[in-house]
Amino acid sequence: MSRIIATAAIRGAHKLVARAEEELGRALKERGEKHSLEFKDTAFYLPLIYALTGIKIKTLGDAVTALEHAKTLLPPIPSEKLWLPYLGDALDAGIATLIAEEIMEAVKYLDPAFPGGIWLGFTSDATLREQGIKLVDGRMPGFAACVGAMPNNEAAVKIIRELQERNILIFLSAQTDGRSLAEQLAEKGVEMSWDTYLVPYGKDITATVHALNFAARAAMTFGGITPGGIKEAREILLYNKNRVHAFVLALGEVDDEKYATAAGAINFGFPTIADTEIPQILPSGICTYEHVVSRISHEKIVSKAIEVRGLKVKVTKLPIPVPFGPAFEGERVRKEQMAVEIGGKVSRSFEYLRGKALEEVEDNKIMVVGPEIDIIPEGGPVPMGIVVEVAGRKMRPEFESILERRIHTFVSEIMGVMHIGQRDMNWIRISHDAKKAGLKFHHLGVVIRAQLLNEFPAIVDKVQVTIYTQEEDILRFLPQAQKAYQERDARVAQMTDESVDIFYSCTLCQSYAPNHVCIITPERLGLCGAYNWLDGRAAYEINPAGPNQPVLKGECFNPEKGEFRRINEFVRLKSNGTVERVYLYSMMEYPMTSCGCFECIMSVVPEVNGVMIVNRGSTVMTPVGMTFSTLAGSVGGGNQTPGFLGVGRLYLTSRKFIVGDGGFRRIVWMTKELKDAVLERLKARAQEIGEPDFVDKIADETIATTAEELLAFAEKVGHPALTMPPLF
């Protein structure tokens, strides 16, 4: 290893450990060793320290133990003349640095006002899992930890747009000459949030540790690795090298503390690419390829980083005047930013996709019938009907709704366009900046056509798009679309698990949870909520070698609990022999595994002989004494966890909902947010089982947050779970 880099990294580690000792000592003096020290909404204590040492930090006193461990990793600062031909001492110094930085970041949270401003700070477990599906399905190929700042604001925006267009998640931290990249972006009005793949952690170099504790939790969450000792720490680091494709962009001057932090990142297999003149470490070893590459121009630094890390990035260059990609999918266009508003509460709007014969579709025919965006009054409401006609030799009517749902994703991935909802309940806003750049309604059709052909090449051969922007055309086409919506819903609703011989697998998440296998049936969608049985079939048609494979059910050993011979054989094979049996309709015996991308978590509440359900993103305390993030730490990673289950929210009203354990009547509690979201479905299912008042017997956090409160409520309303056979 370069003598200069090694010396600087070790020197920086000594500085940061000494600083951590000083800041921790001050906190101990003010608050005492028993005072709580934590990041909110995580089940992993201080995650990086827990991952690499197994130390569970709960108090300021516990942090002393971790810091003492960091000191044992600090090598002496070498002489400037000493040649260090190996990485060992600098890597140890890097780990000591990360431990010190995580302690300092946690101490900052003793101030309830921290982080404040533009800074998002520590990432919750719920957000980690929410982003998980993007990591495993390829939408997000990797991470970039951007440390420092660019020479000017315009250059800052340019490099960020390059990363976003490649769908790379971007963490922002540290500063150069008192300026941070996040501050530069804020001054240019760039939206920074998880939805836009832009996460500003903090201005201090210590905030960089949040990118690495995010990576460490990915290994623990999706890889199912439980920290303990050196062996487990090594597994976590190797998991990140092989599966979490991250790199560091060092922007501007690199001081000792940045060298030390980069050395910590190299332990994870994350290389550093710098724009300044710093010594390089080109031989491979810990990283897949080079460890440190420098003197890279800003025009080439993103592509060089992708090359050095070995990312597989798909960039779609579309002939539209604004950037396009998943990084813009969650972008919000607020009222003051809005040039055009469509649908929602302001106008009639719908989107409708239908299959046609090959001779009836003229590929690449994109028409706007009615006023274009450039002649519409600023901010005015616009009616819109998007009619997409597709043709293909393998296209079938049951694929229409699958392709139609993708319109939401395609349109919302255009920078400056906000798209919410689907069918005749959509809502679109287009920003002033997008309009000023030249974006027109016509370009929505360009994107829809290109992406349908890109993503569904096996079933889509030709696409024609007509966009109507006049009320009379909307009223003419809307009844046709609504009739099709109703027919599709009826077709799916009539399907049962017994009506098909084949279920579909989903191993999409195995890139992060190697032993997890989803089995998708007509009456049980994937736990992420994104894939149902028809989606599985369509995906197999599109890519026969892909993650969605047909699985013959085979002999049914237990119809009530849902055990099938061929399903067991398939799961045993695809879980690498770790899962022997699966009951598809039970959470108490041999439940299906979870990867971590579930929409909801179910847990048994023994005191009331029933189950509670909490949705992703919820922070409320549940009657089992755990929040969503804490529960998620027990459920993911591809493990079978009897008594706990990750599910998609639509499964809650399925006729096959845990029928092996008593079914729908077992629901005793769910979060109010979830209950409101599926209320009509709950009522319909209650009516179907002959208990129209059952939904009123399901408690939420406004009624009970403890098992005792829940039991009292259940007894008061006469909940049927109390008289059902014992779950245990």
CATH class of 332-409+420-470+479-487: alpha beta
The CATH code for residues 3-309 is 3.40.50.2030
Spatial distance between the Cα atoms of 178 and 176, rounded to a whole number of angstroms: 5
Spatial distance between the Cα atoms of 540 and 543, rounded to a whole number of angstroms: 5
- The secondary element (H helix, E strand) that includes residue 133 is helix 125-136
Spatial neighbors of 472 by CB under 8 A, at least 6 apart, are none
Structure token digits, residue 28: 């101990």
Mean pLDDT of the chain: 90
| Of the candidates 654, 318, 332, the residue with the CA atom closest to the CA atom of residue 496 | 654
Spatial distance between the Cα atoms of 623 and 710, rounded to a whole number of angstroms: 7
Beta strands in 480-588 (DSSP E): 502-506, 518-520, 550-552, 556-558, 563-564
Tens of pLDDT along 305-346? 988 898 776 656 788 999 888 778 778 888 889 999 998 778
Full-model pTM: 0.70
What type of residue is 363? D
Spatial distance between the Cα atoms of 181 and 160, rounded to a whole number of angstroms: 9
Q: Do residues 707 and 607 touch, judged by C-beta distance below 8 A?
A: yes
Query: What band does 428 get if pLDDT is binned at 50, 70 and 90?
Result: very high
Same fold, 3-309 and 497-723: no
Residue 389 has pLDDT above 50, yes or no: yes
The CATH code for residues 497-723 is 3.40.1470.10
Residue 396 has pLDDT above 70, yes or no: yes
Residue 140 has pLDDT above 80, yes or no: no
Hey, how many other C-beta atoms are within 10 angstroms of the C-beta on 3? Answer: 16
DSSP-derived 3-state class of residue 646:
strand
Query: What does the domain layout of the chain look like in residue ranges?
Result: 3-309, 332-409+420-470+479-487, 497-723
DSSP codes joined into one string, 141-155: --EEEEEE--SSHHH
Residue 82 has pLDDT above 70, yes or no: no
Residue 601 has pLDDT above 80, yes or no: yes
pLDDT of residue 316: 61
Structure token digits, residue 42: 């995580």
